[in-house]
Amino acid sequence: MALLWRAFMDEQAALDPASSSPASDADARWAVTFRDLVDDPASALLVAEADGQVVGFVVAEPHAEAPVYASVPEVYVGELYVVPEARRHGVARALLDAVAAWAAGQGAERLRFAVLWDNAPSRRMVEAWGATPQAVTFVRAIT
């Protein structure tokens, strides 16, 4: 899992320069997060396997809006990754279906997740899966 997570981070860094310099202790902190995900029944870490190898994963946890907004029970998908050679074979869709089923079992009514704007293949995939954009986050470097 640590190798897949690092591959995910490397791909994110290629798309988002802000991700290109992870903290020096990022791997150690992720190891703690991984153990927490495994131990916490309110969170989900689901994996996809092919030929006995883990080829993808999804991480999700309950999400709540600020108290000034009407509450809609939802789950936030923080990470979704599929190794390049397993892409375009339905792995990401299967992971999203599995996390949606898990979230429904938790009482959630919807999933919330973000896709980097420069990751057009992922945007197309989640839209084909039935997700719709709710907001676009803009960033601008201050020089």
CA 5 – CA 30 distance, rounded (Å): 8
Domains along the chain with CATH numbers: 40-129 (3.40.630.30)
Amino acid at 18: A
pLDDT value, residue 88: 94
Half-sphere CA count of 72, side-chain side, radius 13 A: 7
How many residues are listed for the chain in this entry? 143
Rounded average pLDDT over 64-71: 64
- What mean pLDDT is reported for the chain? 86
For 11-54, the pLDDT digits (tens) are: 887 887 766 566 778 778 778 877 877 878 888 989 999 999 99
111 or 35, higher pLDDT:
111
pLDDT value, residue 65: 66
User: Scanning the structure block, which residue is given the tokens 């959630």?
Assistant: 108
CA 13 – CA 118 distance, rounded (Å): 11
pLDDT value, residue 70: 66
